Amino acid sequence: MQIMKATLERIIFYNEQNGYLVAKCSQLEKEDDTFTIVGNIIQPAPGMLLQIEGEWTVHPKYGRQFKLQSYIKMQPATKKGIERYLGSGIIEKIGPTLAARIVKFFGEDSLKIIEQNPDRLKEVEGIGSKRKANILSAWSKQNKTKQVMLYLYSLRIGPSTANKIYSTYQDEAPQKIQENPYCLIKDIFGIGFKKADSIAEDAGIKKDSPLRIKAGIHHTLMQSTEQGHAYLPCKEVKEKAARLLGIQEALLEKNLSELQQKQEIIIEDGAVYHPELYLAEIEVAKKLDEILKTKKKTPPPGWQNIIDFLEKEEKIKLSLNQKEAIKTALCEKLMVLTGGPGTGKTTTVKSIALLFENFNLKVILTAPTGRAAKRLSEATGRKASTIHRLLGYTPHHGFIKNEKNKLRADVVIVDEVSMVDILLMKALLKALHSSCRLILVGDADQLPAVGPGNLLQDIIQSKVVNVVKLEEIFRQAKSSLIVVNAHRINKGQFPYLPSLRLTSQNKDATKDFYFWEEPDAEKAERIAIELYCKKIPEEFAFNPFTDIQAISPLYKGMAGVNRLNKILQKILNPNTSCITRGQTLFKVGDKVMQLKNNYEKDVFNGDIGVIERINSGEETILVNFLEKKVLYRGQDLNELTVAYAVSVHKSQGSEYPAIIMPVLMSHYIMLQRNLLYTALTRAKKLAIFIGDKKALAIAIRNDKVARRYTNLAQRLCQNARVNKSVDRG
């Protein structure tokens, strides 16, 4: 790290949203010897004198740069610096001409005069009482900004985060932090509990402060939501919050009661909920119950004849199980259609849609992610959209379609329901008319949603909704080892493991599933890299950028997502045009994945594209998602990740021509049957597992899915019992 004083000479790029700056600076006494500085500064201006701390780096395209870690604004010392500073626009009401007159009149004392003897400004031609007052007001505001930033630095807050805080709170930042530093968690992107807690400590908040304890309780609940729970048992809340805060559990009792009284948390029968999740669970149970209470319908006359007609037209042969599903869809207002790969779920969905359309009913197809919606559309030949798009979601206004503005639909079919969380289901149900049929389609044996709840499993386990499970594997699917092994794994049986040793003589690669036995994690990682970069493209003619996907159970460690991405990027993409965001290096030509739904940009969680252009000066990336090009700037870059390898959870709802999956003892913590099953069913044409048969056996035996705390199934059962009691009465 190096500390020096420098004058800001010229601004090359400045992002007002996050304070990111690229500028030319010069050291004092060396004005002709300029260098580039990159970092975050609030309200920079040419002529400004800075004390900067950072390190020298070499950018592959732009050369030597000084990367800023922290800074302090100082008053310019030379006449030239003062004139440029005053005339830069940093002080309202002073332009270049007036700045030149002030400096000509007062010289190096100009800033001292403004600050200590402002009445003398009227000695300068063109400055009267009104202009003097305006200049002093702007100067005071500028000084206030400086004081706020110095206060933030005193709390060990870096310039990038300090800029975000100042942009959000302006001059009220010190007051906000002194009142409640934990508000930073909610208001400032990138600040979590640990960082806020550190700031709170520096701001003088005591360890046993109610403010801190309540923030710790909220954080404990939010963490449980990220793990998929709708609530936490009160005992667990106390244990986890006490451990987080480093205090005795007894101190939590009073704070839990106060939070409950203010309805900031809901406690019901020993379950502690965030209010939003409590209301969502209640609402979903209520709406599903309302659908279930509506009168069953009888199949329209001639429906069997239409099925016969559809079989001829579509050149398909439906199984008895599929016909049962179609009849159930015609009779029930609410049903679940489930089944594994190769059992004909998509064909059944297409047939149901065709049948309803033949009766002039409006059918809507939807799925939780963009990739899942695209797959559904391609498979059925009908338009399908994400649930968010269907409901008209916008970041600032929420869902346009709701209880006051319902969807115009007779039938809504939701695919990949295992990925739908309780909050999204609540939004969808509120937008449905009471007359609308709802058909939920999904594979109950896949991983549950990333968000809170366990919707599909809960609905099935409640046994109050009619469920049709497709179990017969169709003849064409029986020839696929991907399909056969997926069903074997799901039943707890060991899969068939044809070995793979690709050599120049082995050109007869006819199977779609292989196992490469290599228990050593380091060697397995090397094999995965060689398969991805060389062997699979050569032997199977798959493109590593568009067709092949590495999927790993873990992010960290050998053969984890992070290492695979780093190595694959280095081998597959030698491009030097790049930009670094946090720990991630992005290069032109990189395969990248969108990490969250962004409806303003029209890109969705799981969408994969290729970086087409990078401008590191402006901190922008242009990504080509095949159907559209999307520009990312500043904070938007946090929505992207390099995607040569992804986690199993991130692969949900997607389908890839070829996948490579390491299964090793070092992945022990994640070795579960449903994780293995989900990964394998992502492959369309080729799946290769690399690793240890022992690890494979452990994963297959481990069918104990980590329990999610939800009460939806119980609420559905309770509502059903109440309905029966009312009917008997």
Reported as a single tens digit per residue, the pLDDT across 88-100 is 777 777 888 888 9
Residue 81 has pLDDT above 90, yes or no: no
Q: Roughly what angle, to the nearest 10 degrees, separates helices 234-245 and 210-226?
A: 120
Q: What is the mean pLDDT of residues 502-517?
A: 70
Angle subtended at Cα 100 by Cα 26 and Cα 133, rounded to the nearest 5 degrees: 110
What was the pLDDT predicted at 209?
A: 93
Q: Residue type for 225, please?
A: T
Residue 726 binned pLDDT confidence (cut-offs 50, 70, 90): low
Which residues lie across from 56 on neighbouring strands? 66
Residue 704 binned pLDDT confidence (cut-offs 50, 70, 90): confident
CA distances from 305 to 299, 300, 310, 361, 595 (A): 12, 11, 9, 18, 46
Contact, 692 vs 663, CB < 8 A? yes
Q: Which residues are CB-neighbours of 302 under 8 A, at least 6 positions away? A: none
The C-alpha atoms of residue 173 and residue 178 are separated, in whole angstroms, by: 9
Q: What is the mean pLDDT of residues 176-197?
A: 90
Dihedral over Cα of 287, 288, 289, 295: its sign: positive
The SS3 assignment for 705 reads coil
Reported as a single tens digit per residue, the pLDDT across 131-142 is 888 888 878 877
Residue 506 binned pLDDT confidence (cut-offs 50, 70, 90): very low
Copy the structure tokens of residue 578.
Answer: 């790049």
Q: Residue type for 3, please?
A: I
Residue 509 has pLDDT above 60, yes or no: no
Reported as a single tens digit per residue, the pLDDT across 235-249 is 999 999 999 999 999
Residue 669 has pLDDT above 70, yes or no: yes
What was the pLDDT predicted at 507?
A: 45
Reported as a single tens digit per residue, the pLDDT across 301-315 is 777 888 888 888 878
What was the pLDDT predicted at 711?
A: 96
Copy the structure tokens of residue 496.
Answer: 């068939």
What was the pLDDT predicted at 598?
A: 80
The C-alpha atoms of residue 729 and residue 723 are separated, in whole angstroms, by: 10
**481 or 311: whose pLDDT is higher?**
481
Q: Which residues are CB-neighbours of 567 under 8 A, at least 6 positions away? A: 525, 529
Copy the structure tokens of residue 594.
Answer: 């969108």
Contact, 512 vs 482, CB < 8 A? yes
Which residues lie across from 50 on neighbouring strands? 6, 73
The C-alpha atoms of residue 295 and residue 314 are separated, in whole angstroms, by: 32
Place of tokens 């003398």: 120
Say whether pTM exceeds 0.75. Answer: yes
Among 189-198, 409-418, 472-481, which range has the highest average pLDDT? 409-418
Strand 629-633: give its sheet, edge to edge: 629-633, 620-624, 608-615, 591-594, 640-642
How many Cα neighbours within 13 Å face the side chain of 451?
18
Q: List the one residue out of 584, 570, 578 whose CA is nearest residue 638.
A: 584
Among 210-219, 302-311, 365-374, 619-628, which range has the highest average pLDDT? 210-219
Helix locations, 120-251, DSSP H: 129-154, 159-169, 173-179, 183-187, 193-202, 210-226, 234-245
H or E stretch at 8:
strand 2-15
Residue 500 has pLDDT above 80, yes or no: no
Q: List the one residue out of 234, 267, 268, 270 whose CA is nearest residue 252.
A: 234
The SS3 assignment for 639 reads helix
CA distances from 266 to 31, 230, 273, 557 (A): 63, 12, 5, 39
